[in-house]
């Protein structure tokens, strides 16, 4: 605790004894040596080089970003077109499915109709065969009757 008081006392004594640093007179000048000036100059040159390098990197980044944005926009347009084409293909596929369903239904009807026609043809052929047989029998009977006369 006494060390803190001693430090505070010494610090306040130093501040009271030192010249005023808050206000500078117009005649006050700062002096730096040539070696300090050279160091400052080399630091300034290094900073300028770094600044130019960073500007160049920023410019390249801007160009890259612009190209990436252009590519993104093109990709988005292509994606929109592909989505539109996909929707068209889906609609066409659905239409084709419906046409196929209708064609299959019509084919089933045609097949049933053909089977019915085949059954009717078989029935008619059976009748014609029976009729022919009857005519043959009648012709034989008439031939026997004519031969007997």
Question: How far apart, in whole angstroms, are the C-alpha atoms of residue 72 and residue 64?
Answer: 12
106: in domain: yes
Contacts of 32 by beta carbon, 8 Å cutoff, 6+ apart: 40
13: in domain: no
Neighbours of 43 (CB within 10 A): 10
The tokens for 115 are 């089977």
5: in domain: no
pLDDT tens across 55-111, in order?
A: 999 999 999 999 999 999 999 999 999 999 999 999 999 999 999 999 999 999 999
**Strand (E) or helix (H) holding 65:** helix 34-148
47: in domain: yes
Domain span at 48: 40-148
54: in domain: yes
62: in domain: yes
Residue 107 CB-half CA count within 13 A: 6
Give the per-residue pLDDT at 66. 97
Query: How many domains does the chain fold into?
Result: 1
Give the per-residue pLDDT at 32. 83
Give the per-residue pLDDT at 97. 97
pLDDT exceeds cutoff 80 at 4: no
Q: What is the mean pLDDT of residues 8-18?
A: 55
Q: What share of the chain is helix, strand, coil (3-state, %, to 5)?
A: 90, 0, 10
7: in domain: no
124: in domain: yes
Q: What is the mean pLDDT of the chain?
A: 87
């Amino acid at each position: 605790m006494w060390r803190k008081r001693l430090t505070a006392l010494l610090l306040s004594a130093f501040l009271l004894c030192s010249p005023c640093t808050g206000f500078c007179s117009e005649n006050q000048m700062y002096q730096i040596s040539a070696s300090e000036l050279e160091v400052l100059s080399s630091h300034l040159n290094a900073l300028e080089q770094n600044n130019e390098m960073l500007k160049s990197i920023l410019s390249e980044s801007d160009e890259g970003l612009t190209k990436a944005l252009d590519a993104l926009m093109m990709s988005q347009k292509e994606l929109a077109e592909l989505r539109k084409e996909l929707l068209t293909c889906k609609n066409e596929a659905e239409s084709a499915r419906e046409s196929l369903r209708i064609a299959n239904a019509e084919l089933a009807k045609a097949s049933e109709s053909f089977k019915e026609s085949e059954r009717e043809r078989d029935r008619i052929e059976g009748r014609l065969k029976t009729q022919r047989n009857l005519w043959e029998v009648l012709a034989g009977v008439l031939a026997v009757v004519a031969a007997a006369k």
